[in-house]
């Protein structure tokens, strides 16, 4: 195990009906004037925004609001948010929505006190200051409610980039699983795929002797394999929704990733897909992640066998471990397909002829990147090719 620091100071406020407590929590964490940041109409139509506003009023907290966050949140709205916060003397950002809304909120939180372009921090500059952020979560997926990460897309060129800092960890996150019950099955499945991908990015490591984090990763994956089909079959299954929601947070606070090298190439490869085609991040991951696994499995067949036997219920083939490794990747794809996810380019709406563009945008030039396996541009193209052609 490697040395590490782990710091997850977010207060998680979990369960049915908790959104009405938003005002008290904003007050507890020092907010006087709040920006309520949200996405399309659903948070408004469902009445959630009204519940939040009323709760803020009851707590004597002022607010202004900015809706319109799109999936793969854009820099253009972030600039608007920064301007609004400065004009209105906002000192606290409350994200009401999913990962995109939260990530957009974090970007605004960075931008308000920064004397320059917030995009600098998405190009490698460390975050030194940020307004406090909190969330009312409406989809289990990104884990952004418990992480210090944010990913934003530059509209000019659809360039998707991320940043991270403990300063961006939400002060509190209200997580009501019943708010996710109205989500369409496709979005639910995209969220579930994202959660699993967050674990796989940590699971595939070259760090040895990491049993506790291996087991924690497997705990999340096993939960997702059980609970996801249940919510696809019955969107109103509160209990399955609740298990998925907490699993999504555990997957990404990094409690199951500390002390180990992580990979994150699948996320990088996917960002170019959702950047170029504006598809859902989870759907892109469903296409990329198994393709990545297929391409790199030879790097450590036994690690794939561990996943196969502990997570996917495969019998270990002691005479042919590689067969077990490949079987687990096949089972992963079967699972993804069963919950309605695409598993190749055409199902996703991506085009094989764009692979050179994707590789170019991935932007590693003649270099290499990745934790588990170092990929060069040739490898990247090969993985996109697998993703393009896969059939079950």
Provide the binding-site residues for a second copy, judged by CB under 8 A. 1-18, 177, 208-213, 215-216, 218-220, 222-223, 226-227, 239-240, 242-244, 246-247, 250, 255, 258-259
Nearer to a second copy among residue 231 and residue 279 (C-beta): 231
Q: How far is the CB of 368 from a second copy (least distance, A)?
A: 27
Q: How far is the CB of 159 from a second copy (least distance, A)?
A: 33
Which whole-number Å values give the CA distances from 207 to 48, 211, 303, in the listed order? Answer: 44, 10, 11
Task: Tell me how far apart the alpha carbons of residues 67 and 44 are, in angstroms, rounded to a whole number.
Answer: 9
Burial (CB < 10 A; 0-12, 13-18, 19+), residue 65, is middle
Nearer to a second copy among residue 212 and residue 357 (C-beta): 212
CA neighbor of 189 nearest in space, from 227, 236, 146:
227
Task: Tell me how far apart the alpha carbons of residues 212 and 206 are, in angstroms, rounded to a whole number.
Answer: 15
Token pair for 166:
């403990």
Q: Is the dihedral of CA 340, 346, 348, 349 positive or negative?
A: negative
Q: How far is the CB of 316 from a second copy (least distance, A)?
A: 14
Nearer to a second copy among residue 18 and residue 54 (C-beta): 18
Q: How far is the CB of 200 from a second copy (least distance, A)?
A: 16
* Axis crossing angle, helix 281-296 with helix 265-277, rounded to the nearest 10: 140
Nearer to a second copy among residue 79 and residue 238 (C-beta): 238
Token pair for 312:
């996917």
Place of tokens 């994956």: 221
Nearer to a second copy among residue 199 and residue 373 (C-beta): 199
Nearer to a second copy among residue 2 and residue 50 (C-beta): 2
Burial (CB < 10 A; 0-12, 13-18, 19+), residue 313, is exposed
Q: How far is the CB of 5 from a second copy (least distance, A)?
A: 6
Q: How far is the CB of 165 from a second copy (least distance, A)?
A: 14
Burial (CB < 10 A; 0-12, 13-18, 19+), residue 390, is middle
Strands 33-38 and 92-97: parallel
Q: How far is the CB of 179 from a second copy (least distance, A)?
A: 13
Nearer to a second copy among residue 3 and residue 315 (C-beta): 3
């Amino acid at each position: 195990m490697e040395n590490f620091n782990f710091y997850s100071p977010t207060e998680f406020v979990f369960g049915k009906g908790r959104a009405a407590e938003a005002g008290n929590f904003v007050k507890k964490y020092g907010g006087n004037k709040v920006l309520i940041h949200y996405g399309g109409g659903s948070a408004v139509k469902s009445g959630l925004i009204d519940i939040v506003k009323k709760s803020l009023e009851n707590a004597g907290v002022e607010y202004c609001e900015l809706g319109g966050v799109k999936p793969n949140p854009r820099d253009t709205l972030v600039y608007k948010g920064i301007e609004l916060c400065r004009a209105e003397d906002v000192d606290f950002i409350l994200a009401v929505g999913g990962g995109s809304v939260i990530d957009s909120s974090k970007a605004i939180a960075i931008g308000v006190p920064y004397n320059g372009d917030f995009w600098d921090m998405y190009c490698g500059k460390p975050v030194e200051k940020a307004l406090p952020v909190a969330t009312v979560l409406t989809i289990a997926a990104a884990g952004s409610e418990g992480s210090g990460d944010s990913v934003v897309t530059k509209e000019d060129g659809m360039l998707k980039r991320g940043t991270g800092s403990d300063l961006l960890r939400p002060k509190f996150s209200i997580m009501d699983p019943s708010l996710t019950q109205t989500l369409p099955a496709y979005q639910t499945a995209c969220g579930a795929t994202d959660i699993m991908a967050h674990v796989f990015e940590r699971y595939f490591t070259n760090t040895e002797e990491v049993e506790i984090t291996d087991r924690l990763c497997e705990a999340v994956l096993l939960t997702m394999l059980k609970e996801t089909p249940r919510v696809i079959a019955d969107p109103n299954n509160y209990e399955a929704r609740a298990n998925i929601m907490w699993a999504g947070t555990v997957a990404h606070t990094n409690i199951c990733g500390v002390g180990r090298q992580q990979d994150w190439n699948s996320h990088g490869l996917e960002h170019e897909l959702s950047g170029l085609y504006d598809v859902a991040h989870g759907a892109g991951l469903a296409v990329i992640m198994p393709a990545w696994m297929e391409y790199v499995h030879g790097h450590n067949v036994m690690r794939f066998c561990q996943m196969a036997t502990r997570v996917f219920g495969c019998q270990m083939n002691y005479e042919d471990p590689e067969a077990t490794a490949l079987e687990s990747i096949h089972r992963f794809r079967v699972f993804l397909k069963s919950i309605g996810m695409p598993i190749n380019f055409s199902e996703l709406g991506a085009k094989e002829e764009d692979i050179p563009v994707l590789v170019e945008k991935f932007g590693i030039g003649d270099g290499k990147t990745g934790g588990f396996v170092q990929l060069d541009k040739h490898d990247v193209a090969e993985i996109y090719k697998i993703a393009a052609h896969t059939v079950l």
